[in-house]
Amino acid sequence: MIHSPYLFKSVRVPSVRVRVLVALLPGIAAYVWLSGAAILLQLALASVTALIAEALVLAARRKPLKRFLTDGSALITAWLIALSFPPPAPWWLTVLGTLAAIVAKHFYGDLGKNRFNPAMVGLALMLLACPTTTSHNSPAIFGHLGGTGWPWITLAYLAGGLWLLQQRIITWHMPAAFFGALALISGVFGLLASTQFTQFAGPWFQVLSGGSTLAAFFIVTDPVTGTTTPKGKLIFAAGIGLLTGIIHTLGNYPGGIAFSVLLMNIAAPMIDKHTRPPVFGHKLKHNSGNIATKSTQ
């Protein structure tokens, strides 16, 4: 903001996307340190697939290539998909997931119009189409913690997420609401634990996993498919946290975050509609169940 409250500092979309990619680098570095360079191959495959698919779709739609290929959105989608699968995952799984995500991004129009988080669409389709491949015993980001190294990946994603907060690319509302709701529902299931929940993972396990931290700062906070009002952000992210905890506990399914995000994407417009503050100079007035606006004098 230059001169409050009238002028705002202009922020270019490519600049924002580049900073998101930079914020993912600590997590990628920790991934390489702990599991080797296989994740770099997955990232390369996803990136090349995303750029080629983006170019082909743009050409088919007669859209300018340079404008959209350089905005960084395709690469963010590709990286999130690559980081959602374990490094030993088959190469074709990453390629198909990325291809599906790019097509889904363009289904509703240009950048800024997609209704569902593209990366989660690609991930969810792969989870549904190849359940045995995506639910193997390798340590998956969206499944159970795979070993003692995951806390380091969690800290690396946390560092990147906090940098995005410092850069004001995201706000605190969604990460806080997501973590809070996930911890709450996990704690409730822990208190109700019985023989029915013998495979239950406690709140610390759920909240401190690398997948949860990646989701809280880089997936839930997607500015296009989420909500925009402060109260709406809290409701939206809390809903994802609650659904994720329920799916992981009762369903024992590794794609809890992906499906939770897509379900809340459906509810995002309604949440924004009911949490939007009144227009400046007007106030909401309830009269016999009807909402009317009254201009302030």
pLDDT digits (tens, 9 = 90+) for 60-102: 888 888 777 888 889 999 999 999 887 778 889 999 999 999 9
Residue 98 confidence (pLDDT): 96
Whose tokens are 């702990």? That residue is 34
Give me the residue spans of the domains in the chain. Answer: 13-295
Distance between CA 14 and CA 18 in Å, rounded? 6
The residues near 46 (Cβ < 8 Å, ≥ 6 apart) are: 78, 79, 81, 82, 94, 95, 97, 98
* pLDDT tens per residue across span 231-288: 999 999 999 999 998 888 777 666 789 999 999 999 999 999 998 877 665 565 544 4
Do 128 and 262 touch, CB atoms closer than 8 A? no
pLDDT band at 136 (very low <50, low <70, confident <90, very high): very low
Residue 56 confidence (pLDDT): 92
Residue 193 confidence (pLDDT): 65
More confident residue, 103 or 294: 103
Q: What is the mean pLDDT of residues 177-189?
A: 88
Residue 198 confidence (pLDDT): 47
Q: What is the pTM of this model?
A: 0.81
Residue 270 CB: number of other CB atoms within 10 A?
Answer: 11
- Top-level CATH class of 13-295? mainly alpha
Q: Is 197's pLDDT higher than 50?
A: no
CA nearest to 170, candidates 26, 16, 273: 16
Residue 199 confidence (pLDDT): 52
Residue 263 confidence (pLDDT): 95
Q: Is 6's pLDDT higher than 70?
A: no
CA nearest to 142, candidates 52, 251, 64, 32: 251
Quote the percentage of the chain above a pLDDT of 90. 45
Q: Look over the chain and give the mean of its residue pLDDT values, rounded to a whole number.
A: 80
Residue 285 confidence (pLDDT): 52
DSSP-derived secondary structure for the chain: --BTTTB-----HHHHHHHHHHHHHHHHHHHHHHH-THHHHHHHHHHHHHHHHHHHHHHHTT--HHHHHTSSHHHHHHHHHHHHS-TTS-HHHHHHHHHHHHHHHHHT-STT--SS-HHHHHHHHHHHH-HHHHTSSS--TTSS--STTHHHHHHHHHHHHHHHHHTTSS-SHHHHHHHHHHHHHHHHHHHT-SGGGTT---HHHHHTSHHHHHIIIIITT-TTTS--SHHHHHHHHHHHHHHHHHIIIII--TTHHHHHHHHHHHHHHHHHHHHPPPPTTEEEEEETTEEEEEE--
Query: Among 2-6, 224-228, 272-276, whose mean pLDDT is lowest?
Result: 2-6
Residue 287 confidence (pLDDT): 45
